[in-house]
Structure formats: C-alpha cells, structure tokens
Structure 1
C-alpha cells in the first residue's frame, strides 16, 4: 500500500470516526509479530481498524492488517509519521526506545503502556528496583560492572547465581546460570559484558513451580486478573502452560495479588504477563513482568470468557474490561518451537486438526529456526492432565522447516 493511499485511508477513517462519534476506532501497534497478529484479531472482533509498524512487511500481523515499514525502532520521526492519524498506540514488545515513545506522546498520541511505565520495565534492573521499592518480594539482586563483582556476589549469596542482561533479553537470550567461579567469565562473555553490555545478577531462587498470571489494567485503574497458571520452562523458554495451576488456593490467591500489585506499581495499562516462583516452603516471589500480552496467556483465547488480547484492546481504548473466568475446567497450551533452520512451512496440520478438543495457531512466519516460536496449540479438558495430554499429542505431530538452509 503506497504512502498516499494509506494517508487517504487514515484521513477517511478519522473523519468517519468523528462523524459517528468514534464508531470506527483505530489502533496503532508497534510490532508485527504473533502477539500483534492476535491483538489484530481481537481488535477486529470489536470493529477496530489497526495498523502495525514493523521493520519488514513480511510478518505475522501482515496476514491480517496493513503494515507500515520503518528502518528501525530508533527512527523516531519515521515511526511518528506513519502513525500520525492514530490517537491510541500500543506495543507488542518492550524494545521500542524511550525516545520513540516519548516523541509519539509529545505529538498527542495516547501511548499505552506509557513511556514512564516502559522506562521502569525495559531495564530489568530498574524493574526489580521498582518492585522492591513497592515492598514486593523479589530475589536478591545487584548491578555488576565486572566479573570480579559477580564472584563477590557468589561468595556473599552462594552459588548458583543468575546473570542477566538489563535490556533486550527474552526467551533465554539474555540469561545465564552461573554455577561457580569457573562459569563467571564464560557467562560474562556470552552475555556481552566484555563488550559493554549492561548486566545485573540475581540470587538463584529455589522453587518448586514456576507460575504466571495475566493482569489487565484499564485506564481507570481497575484490574482484571486471570487464573494463576503453571509454566514449564526449558533453557529459559516456555514449553507449555497449564491452567489453572494445581496449587493450594491460598498460594494461588497470593500469586494473583502479587501480580496485581506488580502491575499497579509500574502504572501499567493493558495486559501484562507476570512470572513468579513458588518456593518449596510455600513462599511466592516475583521473577519479572512483561509490559504486553504474554505467551503464558495464549490459552485465554479459547479457555476464558474474554481473552488477554481482547482485554488489552479494551483497556487501551478505555472500554470496560471483560470477564477472566474460565469456560472450561482446564486448559493447556504448548508452544510450537522450531527444530531446525528452514522455511516456515508446517507439516502435520491435518493430523493435528483431526484431534478433538485441540485448537491450532500457526503464526505464519516464513522462516524457521531452532527454538523460534512458530505457533502454539491449546487444548481444553476436564482436568489439567487431560488437557495437557491432548495439547502435547497435537504438538508432537506438527513440525516446521525443511531440508533447505
């Protein structure tokens, strides 16, 4: 779509919205990956028009909505130009530079989550500091500027430790578990500390289970809290999610309350993913939060009365939030991770679709790589074990890529 055509479409949509009192709301989304795609689907259901901004047109969201291409997220003026007619702008990732978000806000866009919230969350050390200042339980943490400081923390807190990149780390790409002094320099180099990348360290938190909660907070401060789920992580990548988590009600209530408080502490608006640890003694600690719709909440599309994606759209547009109640006794979500390099072609789809109680989501990525999220499967069931077994069976027959590099 040419710039002139898109500009005309923007102007027409704005006038139409004004004429009918905003009956044609338009939403700008920074990012065009699978999260943006599912936001677009939810927005369309509510009659919204969307435009995504990405660095390439060939992205999952491009299957459903116009995509405006920019040279990079730091090209603030260009991002602002392509979104000039959109009042509300949201984002599918936390990597948009502060300057770009601030420029959009200064031009009159309602950016949600806002620049101040993103500033508190993007840097994970600042995120932990914000949570700790709010009196919320987090593992011990500290900034480290050299390997020697990391060794000193190991002597103080004991091994292992978790070394993390302060910014731009996700799906395990910015984490390293350090088991002893001999692991310090390799971990430091792998995460880029020797090249000037800012790192911090956390005490290892012994846990019995990893939990997650989606919290949607509206413009008016009201929150919709989804059921507490259990996540299974391998190599810092989520492999599956089971809802609801099979933990004592008091522990689930504690996790839900901490998740709500965490989102409130950063002034979040929209759907946020909050990851937590459940300790063997029943204690609950906050691991981290993501200022966006989250992988641990994909099950909500089929399993809840209002999905995390629909509630995010409702929240940023200032609409009432929907119910988070589950429509089924149990649900499970399994991520479809790439096993090889190759095309994004999916195999085994017909076999998976023939399985009862299974819902397949293929993101439409054109290239596959090991560990890359290519889709997910959600299954419903009478029990968590039944739902997980169905989802795993469907995921087992689905594969991506081919023999070409």
Structure 2
C-alpha cells in the first residue's frame, strides 16, 4: 500500500490495464472526489500527498507520500503517471514548470497556476481581459493601505496574495484605525499583500466552468452561495436571479477561465449588487466547493469533467437533471475526532445524499463532508438536506 509499482519491483506486464494514468498533487477531499470520478472511466489514479492517511490516500493504493516540492519525491510520482493535475492552488508554479520542462503533461499549466495562485496577478489578468473586478492595488506598507483607503473609500479588504482560502488571509478594514491590526494579522512585514475596494453585494454567486485542452468549454448553472464566517455553508442551484443576469454571470465566468488559459474545472466566485452589477471575486484553478452538488444533480459532474478535460477527452453535459438542488457543507463544530455520529439517522432521510471525507480530526468550521438533495424547488431540496445535516456530528474530545 502507498508504494509505486517501481518500488514493488513489478514488471510492466503485471500492471492492470488503464485507460489513462492520472496523477493528482494533493490528497484532500477534492482529490478524493476527483479520483472517485476517474476510477469508473478506467483510469489508474496516483496521488502525491504529505499525509499518508489523507482523504484521497485512503482510496488510492498508488499514493506517494512526501513533499511535492522535493525533486526526488516528484520524480517517483511522475514516473507512474501520464498527466498531472492539482487539487489545490498551493503547489508553486515553479515546481510545475520543472515538470513541464522535463516533458511531463501538467493541467492546469504552470503558466495558468502562476497567474491564478497570486491574487494580484490574477486580478491584473482579468482586467486585461476587460472583466469586472473591484478596484485593487498591491500594498507594501500600512501607509500604502491608508492611501488606498483615500482613493477607494472605506471599508477595504486586505488580502494575502498567496495561499488564502475560506477567509484565511483576508481582513476587512473599516477605517484608518484598523490598518495596524490588519497588517499584523496578515503578517505584512513577511508576505506580499494587496488591497481591494469593498464591493457591496446583495448575493454571492458562483459558476463552475470546465475548459478542455482543445479550448472547448462547458458551463454549469449559476448558483448562489451562502457564507458564514467566510466558509461556504450552502449552495443553491440554480441561483434565484433573472435569466438575463444568469446569462451575464455565465459569460463573465467563461471569459475569465479563458483569460487565464484554464484546462479543467475551475470555480469562479462572483458578487451581485442590488443594482444588478456583477464583479468577479476570485478564480479557483481547480474543482470547487460550489460545484459539489453536480455529483448527483448534473448529467456529468465537475469532477468527471475535470478528468475528461485534463486527459483531452470529450466533455460531458453540465445540465441539471432536476429542477433544483441544494448542497450543505457538513462542518466540524469543535475540536474532536473524525468519526461521524448520527450517520444512520442522516442516511434514513429520503433523497439526501451524504458524502463524508474521512478526515481523522474535526475542528470548528472544518469541512468534514457535504449533503446534497434534489427537488422541484431549492426550498424543497433545502428541507431535505437540512434534515440529514441536523443528524450528523463528530465525536468530541473528552
């Protein structure tokens, strides 16, 4: 378990048939669900992850355990795959460029990841494409934040340029008096930051767009996302907005993924104002939490289409198979173990699809799983998902 064929000393003739050999860097729940979509297509999946008991490693015998920035670890990993993809944007683009320089196929490409993993470069690429974003600028000192506040108005959102997610790496500054605390919180003396004008939105929207190696694009329904403490709690599909606004949001999302040279399924987060204006919040160069509902609710899930895209295969239909769907994230409430309690009761709820990620430990706000339900309306689907979610919790540490 968790060894390469090379290490086991097996000759090529001993390897099982595979339609493709897909390697995933990162072993969290996104890799787990991507692997679950790839396996029925006959793919042999390998995972590179530091944690030997990660959610994906539990499923994949061909797991290479180690640091993805270590050259020898990378060499062992890529020796057993044909195509490399990612489950997160934290793999440095320079690492991916080394793989490409050695002739390995990497999707999304190093150039795409370089643009998207740095939020400043990402925003600059979107502006060059003529796409709507909040005003922004790089900041190197508290004085530059104050100057941005004078220019953009208050409040401002201070962000780390790299490695932020679920609100980690963000700080809202309401007045000049809050600059110092935000600068300290985000360690401005040690890492690059940018600042954005606060975009006053009435709804947060998201779109999953899958773009193939040939440039072909499929677009999933525009959904509404509901955040609490910067963590996504609810996804409603489709979003309850006018068809013209949905079309506009979808077109902006398609243009955004094309602008950064995407290959695979990307999440595009959007803001919608009360006046109907739309702005891009961020791009995620990977399968995305806002698209988990697609596993049960769409003809072809975001995960299967990601696999198809990076392998150069035809893309599947993103069409909803029911009028509406809702996804609820199952979040940890406190520090504790990963064993789910109340699972039998949750599974007894008709129409509730329960997904658990197999994490060893829970924590406040940690994503431990999700529940999807379909219905004639999002209200109906929400009631089903909530009934199942209320039954689930994780064992506390006593």
TM-score by length of 1: 0.95
> Which of these residues, 231, 247, 255, is aligned with residue 253 of structure 1?
247
> Which of these residues, 292, 302, 309, is aligned with residue 308 of structure 1?
302
1:97-112 equivalences in 2 (<5 Å): 97-112=92-107
Q: Does 1:231 align with 2:225?
A: yes
Distance 1:116 1:197 in 2: 22
Q: Which runs of 5+ in 1 are unaligned?
A: 18-22
- Using the TM superposition, give the Cα deviation of residue 55 of structure 1 relative to its aligned residue in structure 2, in angstroms: 0.2
Instruction: Indicate conservation of the 8 Å contact 1:232/1:240, yes or no.
Output: yes
Q: Does 1:57 align with 2:49?
A: no
Name the counterpart of 2:29.
34
Q: Does 1:280 align with 2:257?
A: no
Instruction: Indicate conservation of the 8 Å contact 1:229/1:241, yes or no.
Output: yes
1:6-405 equivalences in 2 (<5 Å): 6-7=6-7, 12=12, 24-194=19-189, 196-404=190-398
Instruction: Indicate conservation of the 8 Å contact 1:30/1:90, yes or no.
Output: yes
3-state SS of paired residue (2:396): coil
Distance 2:122 2:4 in 1: 41
Give the aligned length: 398
Q: 1:2 to 1:305 in 2, by over 3 A?
A: closer
Distance 1:4 1:325 in 2: 38
CA RMSD of aligned residues (A): 1.6
Q: Which runs of 5+ in 2 are unaligned?
A: none
Instruction: Indicate conservation of the 8 Å contact 1:32/1:67, yes or no.
Output: no
Q: 1:2 to 1:186 in 2, by over 3 A?
A: closer
Distance 1:383 1:342 in 2: 35
- Using the TM superposition, give the Cα deviation of residue 98 of structure 1 relative to its aligned residue in structure 2, in angstroms: 1.9
Distance 1:170 1:257 in 2: 25
Instruction: Indicate conservation of the 8 Å contact 1:10/1:85, yes or no.
Output: no
TM-score by length of 2: 0.96
The more displaced of 390-399 and 41-50 is 390-399
Distance 1:275 1:264 in 2: 15
Instruction: Indicate conservation of the 8 Å contact 2:203/2:272, yes or no.
Output: yes
Instruction: Indicate conservation of the 8 Å contact 1:56/1:69, yes or no.
Output: no
3-state SS of paired residue (2:114): helix
Deviations for 1:86-139, whole angstroms, at most 9, x for unmatched residues? 110100000011221112112221100000000000100100000011100000
Instruction: Indicate conservation of the 8 Å contact 1:70/1:79, yes or no.
Output: no
* Off by >4 Å, runs of 4+ in structure 1: 2-11, 13-17
- Using the TM superposition, give the Cα deviation of residue 156 of structure 1 relative to its aligned residue in structure 2, in angstroms: 1.6
Q: 1:319 to 1:5 in 2, by over 3 A?
A: closer
- Using the TM superposition, give the Cα deviation of residue 236 of structure 1 relative to its aligned residue in structure 2, in angstroms: 1.5
Q: 1:296 to 1:13 in 2, by over 3 A?
A: farther
Instruction: Indicate conservation of the 8 Å contact 2:2/2:61, yes or no.
Output: no
3-state SS of paired residue (1:60): coil
- Using the TM superposition, give the Cα deviation of residue 68 of structure 1 relative to its aligned residue in structure 2, in angstroms: 3.2
Instruction: Indicate conservation of the 8 Å contact 2:4/2:63, yes or no.
Output: no
- Using the TM superposition, give the Cα deviation of residue 338 of structure 1 relative to its aligned residue in structure 2, in angstroms: 0.9
